[in-house]
Structure 1
């Protein structure tokens, strides 16, 4: 059976991953000098917002690794994101799985299981790291506590303020103004790392990219 957990982690129930908004891969664990000054939470939030506000849309390839104890799962695929709350995350290997959000409805589709889950997008930036890049950066301060361990590096750690959030923390790393990597720690002990490559920013993406119609014979579950 196809491992469906990474997709749920990226959607509403566990994420990540996206986790989400997320590219020339560079290491996420950036070395921090012992004397490096950390930013205040207010400054860290402002710095992160300044990076995200300039990203109106993004497309990229990704490689995703999910570690759960001694078990490791690896996936590759393509993604695209565009404001407001338009998002497409497509795993192509080792199995085909898809998350699509068009601003109103979010679909999670597993081709092997012939199953699709449908739910309202709503205001999910606090629950869905995968929608960070496609959402409103101004919401970050309302939904997350943000830290920046070294003001000289664009590396941020986001901790959800909501007690109902499905993950413990999300780290974002930028290179040249582009988000290059995400690392998510969820509430069931999984660590999901996502690296992005072949990044393209601020190009108009057709609305059809974010629409989804379940194929005939698909079992549709509404939440």
Structure 2
């Protein structure tokens, strides 16, 4: 009886694990655009210091996205499919670089890219707190990201966790997720504010 129960549990676990990877594949394949709010928690490598921020996220495949941080300071990261701009309102300064140089195996590529399995190795993780998790390991050896994990509630994107090359951990909790909704093309166009400095990389 115990053997049957264990076999049943393993089979169920296998199905749950497949669901997390499948959810990411379906998200990448079927969700062409979307928008959401997010709260980001950045934790230092020693786990003692935390920084909180929040904002909104919009995307249109392939490779167009906009992260707009509103608290505690304003910062915008915009990609139009060719270039990525980062604008810091406090410094009144923007930087830009070619998308191919900036995107690679990054969190943005995982959310808004179109060829995730070219850049990442996907592996299901144990379910936690009602969420199905999948780990995405960058295939590029020189990636600045140690590890990436995404969580889905059913088919809905819920959480992204990032550990960078320095061991700093970032967690983005998404809310109000809307998929395959119209997003204005202007949201992915960056216009340099008057008087702002531009650094092109």
On whether the aligned pair clears a TM of 0.5, the verdict is yes
Q: Is the 8 A contact 2:106 2:145 kept in 1?
A: no
Q: What is residue 25 of structure 2 aligned with on the other side?
A: 49
Pick aligned residue for 2:188 from 210, 216, 223? 210
Q: What is residue 112 of structure 1 aligned with on the other side?
A: 90
Pick aligned residue for 1:185 from 163, 178, 191? 163
Structure number with greater CO (CA < 8 Å, separation at least 6) is 1
Which of these two proteins has the greater Rg computed from alpha carbons?
A: 2
Corresponding residue pairs, total: 187
Superimposed CA distance per residue, residues 25-57 of structure 1 (whole angstroms, 9 cap, x where no aligned partner): xxxxxxxxx956458x99975553123312111
Q: Is the 8 A contact 1:45 1:141 kept in 2?
A: no
Structure 1, unpaired ranges of 5+: 1-33
Offset of residue 134 of structure 1: 1.7
Specify whether residues 120 and 146 from structure 1 end up closer, same or farther in structure 2 by C-alpha distance, changes over 3 A only: same
Q: Superposition pairs for residues 1-223 of structure 1, below 5 Å?
A: 35=10, 37=13, 48-68=24-44, 69=46, 70-122=48-100, 126-136=104-114, 139-150=115-126, 154-223=132-201
Cα distance between partner residues in 1 of 2:195 and 2:78: 19
Structure 2, unpaired ranges of 5+: 1-8
Give the number of the structure whose residues are more often helix, by fraction: 2
- SS of corresponding position for 2:186: helix
